[in-house]
Amino acid sequence: MRAALKLSKYLKPYKHFAILAPILMVLEVGMDLIQPTIMQKIIDKGIATNDTQYIIMMFAAMILCAMIGWLGGAGCTYFSSKAAVNFASDVRADLYETITYFANSNKDKFTLGKLITNLTNDIEMLQRALNMLLKIFVRGPFMFVGAVIVVFFTARDLFPVLFFVVPVLIISLYIIIQLSIKLFRKVQESIDQVNTRVQENLAGIRVIKAFNRMRYQMKQFATVNHQLTKRNMTADQVVAALMPITQFVVNIGIVLALMLGVVKVDAGAIEIGVIVAFINYLMMILNGLMSSSNVLIQIARAIPSAERVVVVLEEQSDITNIENPVKKEIQGNVKFDKVSFSYNKHVEPVLKEISFEAKAGSTVGIIGMTGSGKSTLIKLLGRLMDVDEGTIYIDNIPIQQYDIDMLRNAMAFAPQKAILFSTTIEENLKYGKIDATKEDIQEALFASNAFEFVEKLDHKEQHELTQGATNLSGGQKQRLAMSRAIIRKPKILILDDTTSAVDSITEKIIQRNMKEALKDSTKFIVSSKISSIKHADLILVLGDGRIVAQGTHEELLKMSEYYKEIVATQVERGGAIDE
């Protein structure tokens, strides 16, 4: 209920459609209700007295009613669809925006499969429920109540039959609805599981193939798929098996009406047309109740969807702007002052008391064991997460005080895993700078030593990348991701192990080009290779979330045993450390 109230605001802009639809439906049902009475008059007055003119007149009235009813029905469908489709589209857009602005910590609370189900299946459920609600929910009760009232006034002698039919019908439908709610909730859970599995399997298809685990994955998928099929079948079968009960009850009602009707006709209390009209109204009562219960079932299916959508919509991003944030141009002086951070407040922090300073335009290299907190450290700079303790300053202002857009616009980030979009190379680079010119693009490609290989591709910068850029090598992807960051000419450039798949000669070229192209940028380079960070103005050596040593390459060689050990290991492995 709370979820429905929360979502009702999305219907406000379309309230006119939402009001018009039921009104037009009332018109249609009104016309439907008149017709059996006209038929009764044709039988009892026209046919009984052989009055052809009366029959033709009533027949014309019936056609007119049918046409008005049809117009009402068509209008209702048009407006209810318009309201439901627009409502769904707005909820989807808002949901998408909310997810887009999620901080990392927010994203971790939901699985990707669940978010995809929210954006697709759940919204579809809400759209269908609203459409039915506007169309049929009025039709059902109105037809039911209308038919009962008409029977009371026109066929009162047969009215007692309803004392049996109506309560039995209502109880049967109540049981069916309760069961449906339970069953369809289970179906929804299964859809979630299938989506999560599909998303994971498709994302990891290469790993699955490399490990030859296709059969295993298929088995796992088959389990959740089978469960979904079973739950869907159970839900449909239970509902389908119970529905004939309602028809059976109505049939008993018809038999009772005929038995009672014959007695009353014999006694001259009613005429034959009343029985025909009564049977028609009985069908309408059934129809009315069935339509109402169908809508209730649809609503029951939509309630879990509404709840799930609202949970996401209400999720407040953990990273927000303060009131009156600083909107000052950033120079790129960075200072970490005793910064600590943990992903999970109940376990030991991932970063502990990190302190260092980097002047604008300088290069900071970050090296350390895997899992020592290198990626976490640089993610804090762009406020992908906020620090728990200590402060990060940029140009002597704590980063929380900056306008988030301003802060992030001053930075460019090439993540550990080069994520490229399924569009042209040019469009991918324009993610870094929307209004990039052809020269900007070529310059950025040149800086990351990607120009040469791009020139060899069909259509060059217009070359279309496949989803996940599977048509490029790992090193090519990394170089394009670097170009996308470089093209921005950011005040702070962050490269998270972006040369791991690049050979040492290419890496040297990139280092030289970047030094030229990004003289004024403060550069943070995370790497496990000494060769990538050796020339940095400041090298941070991380161990278990702490800075165990910091200085230039030469200084560290003199003072840090740990750093010396890393250098020695890489030399042993034949790594290119020196020029």
Beta bridge partners of 241: none
For the CB of residue 496, give the shortest distance to ligand ATP in the complex, in Å: 7
543 is a site residue for ligand ATP (CB under 6 A): no
Place of tokens 């034949």: 574
301 is a site residue for ligand ATP (CB under 6 A): no
365 is a site residue for ligand ATP (CB under 6 A): no
Q: Pick the stretch among 19-27, 328-336, 373-381, 426-434 that binds ligand ATP (CB under 6 A).
A: 373-381
Complex with ligand ATP: residue 36 or 373, whichever CB lies closer = 373
Q: Pick the stretch among 167-175, 184-192, 365-373, 474-482 that binds ligand ATP (CB under 6 A).
A: 365-373
C-alpha dihedral sign at 555, 561, 566, 568: positive
372 is a site residue for ligand ATP (CB under 6 A): yes
Q: Are 448 and 479 in contact (CB under 8 A)?
A: yes
Q: Pick the stretch among 198-206, 309-317, 374-382, 425-433 that binds ligand ATP (CB under 6 A).
A: 374-382
Complex with ligand ATP: residue 73 or 368, whichever CB lies closer = 368
Site for ligand ATP in 321-350 (CB under 6 A): 343, 350
Complex with ligand ATP: residue 201 or 375, whichever CB lies closer = 375
User: Nearest to residue 480, comparing CAs of 439, 507, 433, 448?
Assistant: 448
For the CB of residue 358, give the shortest distance to ligand ATP in the complex, in Å: 18
**Long-range contacts at 5-11 (CB < 8 A, ≥ 24 apart):** 6/310, 6/313, 6/314, 7/91, 7/126, 7/306, 7/309, 7/310, 10/87, 10/90, 10/91, 10/94, 11/83, 11/87, 11/130
For the CB of residue 529, give the shortest distance to ligand ATP in the complex, in Å: 11
Site for ligand ATP in 105-144 (CB under 6 A): 108
375 is a site residue for ligand ATP (CB under 6 A): yes
Which H or E element spans position 123? Answer: helix 123-132
Residue type present at position 29: V
Q: Are 468 and 308 in contact (CB under 8 A)?
A: no
C-alpha dihedral sign at 531, 532, 534, 535: positive
371 is a site residue for ligand ATP (CB under 6 A): yes
Identify the residue among 100, 212, 370, 437 touching ligand ATP (CB under 6 A): 370
152 is a site residue for ligand ATP (CB under 6 A): no
In angstroms, the CA 517 to CA 483 distance is 11
Complex with ligand ATP: residue 416 or 424, whichever CB lies closer = 416
Complex with ligand ATP: residue 126 or 334, whichever CB lies closer = 334
374 is a site residue for ligand ATP (CB under 6 A): yes
User: Nearest to residue 177, comparing CAs of 242, 113, 225, 226?
Assistant: 242
C-alpha dihedral sign at 451, 453, 456, 459: negative
Complex with ligand ATP: residue 164 or 343, whichever CB lies closer = 343
Q: Pick the stretch among 2-10, 285-293, 368-376, 547-555 that binds ligand ATP (CB under 6 A).
A: 368-376
Q: Are 37 and 277 in contact (CB under 8 A)?
A: yes
Residues 6 or more apart whose Cβ sits within 8 Å of residue 144: 284, 285, 288, 289, 292
217 is a site residue for ligand ATP (CB under 6 A): no
By CB under 6 A, name the binding residues for ligand ATP. Answer: 108, 343, 350, 368, 370-376, 416
